[in-house]
Amino acid sequence: MKDNPKFSEISFWDQTVRSHSANNRTVPKIMASFIIVLSLTYIFYTLNFIFSPHSSCDQDLPKPHEQLKSSSPITQLAKSPSGSAQTHNTQVKTSLHHIVFGIAASAKLWDQRKSYIKQWWRPNEMRGIVWLDKPVSNDTDEDNSLPPLKISSNTSRFKYKYPKGHRSAIRISRIVSETVRQGMEDVKWFVMGDDDTVFVVDNLVKVLAKYDHNQFYYIGSSSESHLQNINFSYNMAYGGGGFAISYPLAKALEKMQDRCIKRYPGLYGSDDRIQACMAELGVPLTKEPGFHQFDVYGNLFGLLSAHPVAPLVSLHHLDVVEPIFPNVDRVQALKRLKVPMKLDSAGLMQQSICYDETRFWTISVSWGYAVQIFRGIFSPREMEMPSRTFINWYRRSDYTGYAFNTRPVSKNTCQKPFVYYLSNALYNAHTNQTVSEYVQHRVPDPECKWKMADPSQIDRVEVYKRPDPYLWDKSPRRNCCRMLPTKKKGTMVIDVGVCGEGEVVELPRQRKT
């Protein structure tokens, strides 16, 4: 039995158990003592930590100002959406130098349309190309006042199946890619437009400066025509109004555009082909209301005198609508608009609303363009809606055809506005103010029988305004206008500027007419 291993193991275990059993009464006492000592030690150190004058929960964390000091500098190497590394410096703001224009033109209309481009193009300051379908003859003088001219590449290999369209839409849609392939340096944005598109360049720069050019951005606006947007897309930037594409997005588009175009032979225009490719790239339209397609006919007065609270960026279809100023041709009208555009482009066409409470008139100022005086009191809600001085793209007067709210032109002769168009503007360096003059556009009107002051006695309106280059760096809000006293006969004087604290355009008390 002694030589049996199993027996030896059992005997050893039996002896161990017995030895522990003999001391089983001392174990609980030892364990209890150990727990008490451990608890007292924990309590002691906890109390010492809490009441120590040097203790702090965030003792090892840097203060906010220390975090700013130790953070990486503003200039960082960021990964662009296109996958290439680009230097992104937020201190270098977007300027005119960073924008390259691609302008779609046709040889047939070039002699007529080039006059529009001359009104906004700045030689030696701007970069861009006019893309034509055929060569045109140019004078040496004109070469210096216009962008370089290039001929678009052949597009006969692409199919075009839209029944009533023109295959030049394929050529124009490829202007983006052809401009990218020129390899210009230090480009942040590519801006596309037509040869009858007029850009307010400084406002365009201000709008694009809001966005990170290292990201994918497709910026523009829709048509004024509801039916146009339904037939094409509310997600499409209309090419005539102009649109902007950030550099990395333009590079991504250039790589796939030809393949994309082949997939959409049934589309009508160039801009819907661009939007189709943007949809494949997954990039939506970022809307900026200052890009204007102007798919309307007639007089733009109602649209321009109640411009959205946003910088005016572009005007289009100037061959289709009436000149924006009366009694002059279209080019002369644009030249007149250039005067206030140079003085204060941020404030151009911005509407202000105020009241002459003594004479019970409503005043609407579209700075740099026109002033209106109405008999009676109209609410700001009414005045900010464009009056229907135009008809829609399908040549109907149906107000439901617009993609925005409008108000009818009043049939009551007493409620028709007295309109004063810009005649001149200048800048006073001593007062840091612009002074703009507006002269009454006299048209025969039937007599009004209301017993109130007659605005026809006012021949001219003077508007004083301080230029505000930082207007669009703040949240959008209409400027306020205030009536100023004057001893000048037949003259109304108005001050326009940022609304003061608590300043509200409140309706004066109504009275019987």
Domain spans, the chain:
78-293, 340-497
Summarize pLDDT for 233-282 with one digit per residue, the tens. 999 999 999 999 999 999 999 999 999 999 999 999 999 999 999 999 99
Distance, in Å, from the CA atom of 30 to the CA atom of 237, rounded to the nearest integer, reads 84
Which two tokens mark 172?
A: 């124009």
Q: Which of 51-55, 143-147, 156-160, 174-178 has the lowest mean pLDDT?
A: 51-55
Calculate the average pLDDT of the chain.
85
> What CATH architecture does domain 78-293 belong to?
Alpha-Beta Complex (3.90)
Summarize pLDDT for 269-299 with one digit per residue, the tens. 999 999 999 999 999 999 999 999 999 999 9
Backbone angles phi, psi at 482, to 5 degrees: -135, 140
Mean pLDDT of 479-487: 95
Regarding the domain delimited by 340-497, which CATH topology (the fold level of the hierarchy) does it fall under?
Answer: Cation-dependent Mannose-6-phosphate Receptor; Chain A (2.70.130)
Mean pLDDT of 451-465: 95
Q: What is the DSSP string of 429-461?
A: TTTTEEEEEEEE-----PPP--SS--GGG--EE
- The amino acid at residue 68 is L
User: Has residue 351 got a pLDDT over 50?
Assistant: yes
Strand 99-104 and strand 189-194: the pairing is: parallel
Using DSSP, state whether 372 is helix, strand or coil.
Answer: strand
Nearby residues of 135 by Cβ (< 8 Å), 6 or more positions away: 107, 151
What is the reported pTM? 0.81
- State the distance between the two ends of the chain, measured CA to CA, in whole angstroms: 132
Distance, in Å, from the CA atom of 133 to the CA atom of 152, rounded to the nearest integer, reads 6
Which secondary-structure segment (H or E) carries 112? helix 110-120
Distance, in Å, from the CA atom of 393 to the CA atom of 401, rounded to the nearest integer, reads 9
pLDDT at 380: 96
